Structure 1
């Protein structure tokens, strides 16, 4: 019989599996990635997830693979799992973004998927309409009004904002839509309209600063091309000091963001939109100098969850017209 929950210790014939939990290893040196384990689940408690992760780390250590970080999205079960492992991932107390490897005793850092965090920031700004930064009030309406002006004029000010970026409910999962919304090109367009004397953009300077900070942070945490320059360059000896200085300033900026009633954003219901980037900043600050001792540069895209998303796309595509595989299909495709 197949189709039941299976966590590796035997089939649980009282529960039917509805999801697959997959672990994938991505190489920092060399171009390789490998899905190494999967478990059929219906729901998973953080403690069980912790045991599976520790077992995976031990198995990799036995095979001579050093794990430097674990990447995940912002699901509450992942946060609770990290807490059980010894991390502290809320800004109410000093952050601790690593836990001890069960076999080697070395630190294993936690990375929140930057693409997922970017979508959370976009969703947060749209949901709250406005937030308060050290420079003033950051407002979603300026991005919406930018689209209105461009539609009225029939020209785009060197950005990709359209109606789908404003009304994104049907495309919440698309990273490209979020990246094009919270981008430097949108910030420059707002700056141009403000300097051109458009009355509705007179006080959009705080929004411009917010967009620039988020855009640069995302570029730093998603660098792919070893030959890229500027903010998209990989982290190496040449730019690490400047990058570290910016990340320190950005961390202070993010922790000072507040709601209109004065509540710190990192204590609101959408706290992870800020805390996720701060967690990554702290992890990169401690992890990158160690990695640069053995190589010239680090492409931070290696820490992305995108590798796993592409694998899932491949699994879905293997089913042809049916992109919702059964347990038997998944096992066959995975093999």
Structure 2
């Protein structure tokens, strides 16, 4: 399951060196049979295929032209179509069944390559290039992993547990900081939770507004009159969160934002 080990084996260095050694006319114990050339060519093919799906920079290195951003003029699509033809002919011998069979890894890799060809035809109509390495589910996987491990090991949460964990993670991540010595840039905000306050109360605050031409219409709940018990509860929890935050936040600008008051004690 370790991709790093696989990448070390199916690499350009291993494939090119295997081809070179197999062509040596030597009888030493370190020599390779001539048939090793085909294995080396297969390793170079896999290395190029992974390079084409792992580009993280717009400009590809001169030695690996496939390890770059996908553009209208990049050689990715032509290589992918040839790679599909190669992978469709790949068979693996099953010793128990005593016949050649298809394996899920190769079948799903063909589907992945076909998916990238489809994405290229759609995305390049809107953008000039895109990075194939960014097309992954790491963010979604990390998010669901955080939900499943929040509080306890809950690998199969129901809808209510999922929503509760999601809300708690939002608050915890919001109140956390990257490192005690991290630099904090001014974001020109008057309050850290003003956008949430604007959404919940419908109050129009200075500097916070929706773009009418790009943002979808979101129903804003009406400002509901709170009882004194509700106001006291909000004030208690707000004070508790700020008290905990001041112990960990070491930025004076952040502290001043957390302690900022607009003059309305009830808010």
Which structure has greater strand proportion? 1
TM-score, length-scaled by structure 2: 0.48
User: Looking at both structures, which has the greater relative contact order when contacts are Cα pairs under 8 Å and sequence separation is at least 6?
Assistant: 1
Greater Rg over alpha carbons, structure: 2
